[in-house]
């Protein structure tokens, strides 16, 4: 299979209804928490248009965000904080956020599908699905909940720490963000363990 070809549809070994999809958003940014969400869809209340949140417009994500919360059998959103990211590293913080999300589900799943190729340390029967947010509806729904939640939080952080443009780039290392870091130094919302932030932190000591 060539690198640019779509992956085949995922065939899940679990056939019951208490199937949760879990995904995280925010591994790449220099600022803000990493946010995870998990969703158990209700087969009796299907949701049209679910897809990888990165491939949807903001308007479409917002619409689906409300539909998922209205129609899903169960859902939860959790996070790992900036301090935890700096302490654990971003991979382990992401896995921690996903574990917290699934553990907080009001209805506990019988099987969990995890986006990516690594799974959290937990007791749930599960499978990992590479690019699962584009292959599994429940993971796509989770990616939308996580993305919208985190984007909204970055707008709030932008108000708390003006000058960095967090509402626009959502904490990702854009040219404008790096220029702001160089001029202002890192804010309390920045991940001190990330190389660009660490570099500018040293300059402001």
Which residues carry a binding-site annotation?
23-24, 115
Binding site for a divalent metal cation, residues?
Answer: 23-24, 115
Burial category of 22 from C-beta neighbours within 10 Å (exposed 0-12, middle 13-18, buried 19 and up): buried
């Amino acid at each position: 299979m060539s690198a640019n070809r779509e992956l085949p549809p995922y065939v899940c070994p679990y056939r019951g209804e208490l199937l949760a999809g879990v995904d995280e958003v925010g591994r790449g940014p220099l600022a803000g928490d990493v946010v995870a969400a998990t969703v158990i869809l209700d087969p009796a209340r299907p949701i049209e248009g679910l897809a990888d949140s990165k491939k949807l417009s903001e308007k479409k994500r917002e619409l689906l965000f409300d539909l998922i919360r209205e129609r899903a059998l169960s859902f939860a959103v959790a996070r790992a904080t900036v301090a935890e990211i700096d302490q654990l590293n971003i991979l382990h913080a992401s896995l921690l956020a996903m574990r917290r999300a699934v553990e907080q589900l009001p209805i506990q799943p019988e099987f969990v599908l995890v986006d990516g190729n690594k799974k959290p340390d937990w007791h749930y029967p599960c499978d990992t699905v590479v690019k699962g947010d584009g292959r599994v509806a429940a993971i796509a729904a989770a990616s939308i909940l996580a993305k919208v939640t985190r984007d909204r939080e970055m707008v709030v952080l932008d108000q708390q720490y003006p000058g960095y443009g967090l509402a626009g780039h959502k904490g990702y290392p854009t040219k404008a963000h790096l220029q702001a870091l160089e001029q202002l130094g890192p804010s309390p919302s920045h991940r001190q363990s990330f190389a660009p932030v660490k570099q500018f932190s040293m300059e402001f000591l």
